[in-house]
Structure 1
């Protein structure tokens, strides 16, 4: 079951990458939590804040999960070993697949900034609160998401209240592209999604990526079916 909000702390790239490395080394469950706590301890004075951050990192990379198929999570660990230089893709795919609030916020950013590459924070806040409620919890969670995006260097903040998209990361590897396609299908809690929708997914704004039959056809976890003028991608 996916958390209703769940994204209640900001994250650093170094924390995500080290947590992913633990998971790729087949560390899971209680042992993974212990390792993450040791990783975070020097950076925190508040036990409560550290525990929340640990739980979020654990939720993203723990392979013993019910919110997405274990096979999908395990594949992320395998891909990390062969594409460690593009670990952002894997962190991102897991966060959108497992945390609907994160997916919603980054999707709105992608929509607002699609043409000019910039957005005003107040406009984003208005869209998020309209959808999720005008509460302090929602506003704080949105702040945590935006700060995480800054830490991941997918956004810059050229002036107060305004954010700019950074240069997107080019995704070449077919296996990463196919895994990202599956991630957005899980993010929408679906079994399939049209190729056109996947290619126009606003939550993929940090990446320069094209999804087509050529780079998806060999993915063992996906099936492609032609329907009318589009191709539909099914999770097998």
Structure 2
């Protein structure tokens, strides 16, 4: 998993309807090669801003690599992706956002980390700036232009997905209304995505529940015993007197 944790990958703003399009093709039974052909034609006219117009192949090729989180994930994420696809099959498309968030977070931990730093800032203040998010990310990834550029694209993706909204001041954002999650299995999927985004693949349940990366969502309370009963991919280990440690089985 180390290579995945080292890559940034978010090289342009990702629109939610692009992700929807991929999932609809997968649910229709299209294979990877067919999806790539369809995306090649579709994205040629889709701009990062959400509008339409001609684009260079190199530009939309970057988007395809991120969308591949669904249709061509790393080998160790295939089971996770298959589970996400099984859950989303019975979900209304207007409720697909948390599934997309989970799949990208698992494949690109940088996405998860930008979300975490964003959530931490919202725990302290009502408005945040791009510069504040970047400052926190530099501590983890170093002061590189690629970090700044990928962070900007990730934040703009959050805006495009309706998780953040622009304030009256350029580069300043407010949090949108959170998405209430009532489905326990989706909550477990989000937790598993967080474990995939962690290099060690483990986290204390109490800390996982309050992880600021989940700022776009309202999650129900689940016990370690319940997660253990429902999940085939997460081990539960008693941690201390009153908490549980969640560990990925496939690490």
TM-score w.r.t. the length of structure 2 is 0.85
- Following the alignment from structure 1 to structure 2, what is the Cα–Cα distance between the partners of residues 181 and 166? 22
The two structures, once aligned, show a CA RMSD in angstroms of: 1.9
TM-aligned CA distance change 1:211 to 1:158, over 3 Å: same
1:227 maps to which residue? Answer: 239
Give secondary structure in 2 for the equivalent of 1:224.
Answer: strand
Do the aligned residues in 1 keep the contact of 2:228 with 2:235 (CA within 8 Å)?
A: yes
What are the residue-to-residue correspondences of 1:141-152 with 2, within 5 Å?
141-152=150-161
What are the residue-to-residue correspondences of 1:179-190 with 2, within 5 Å?
179-190=189-200
Deviations along 1:45-91, whole A, 9 cap, x unmatched?
A: 21211111122212x2124522x431111011111111233211111
Q: Within the alignment, does 1:81 sit opposite 2:89 as a pair? A: yes
Deviation at 1:26, TM superposition (A): 3.8
- Following the alignment from structure 1 to structure 2, what is the Cα–Cα distance between the partners of residues 115 and 220? 34
Which consecutive aligned stretches of 4+ in structure 1 deviate over 6 angstroms post-superposition?
none
- Following the alignment from structure 1 to structure 2, what is the Cα–Cα distance between the partners of residues 136 and 220? 40
Deviation at 1:217, TM superposition (A): 4.2
Deviation at 1:116, TM superposition (A): 3.0
Do the aligned residues in 2 keep the contact of 1:28 with 1:64 (CA within 8 Å)?
A: no
Point out where structure 2 has 5 or more consecutive residues left out of the alignment: 47-53
Across the two proteins, how many residue pairs are aligned to each other?
234
Q: Within the alignment, does 1:41 sit opposite 2:41 as a pair? A: no
- Following the alignment from structure 2 to structure 1, what is the Cα–Cα distance between the partners of residues 180 and 144? 37
TM-score w.r.t. the length of structure 1 is 0.90
- Following the alignment from structure 2 to structure 1, what is the Cα–Cα distance between the partners of residues 134 and 238? 39
TM-aligned CA distance change 1:180 to 1:134, over 3 Å: same
Point out where structure 1 has 5 or more consecutive residues left out of the alignment: none
Give secondary structure in 1 for the equivalent of 2:167.
Answer: strand
1:99 maps to which residue? Answer: 108
2:208 maps to which residue? Answer: 198
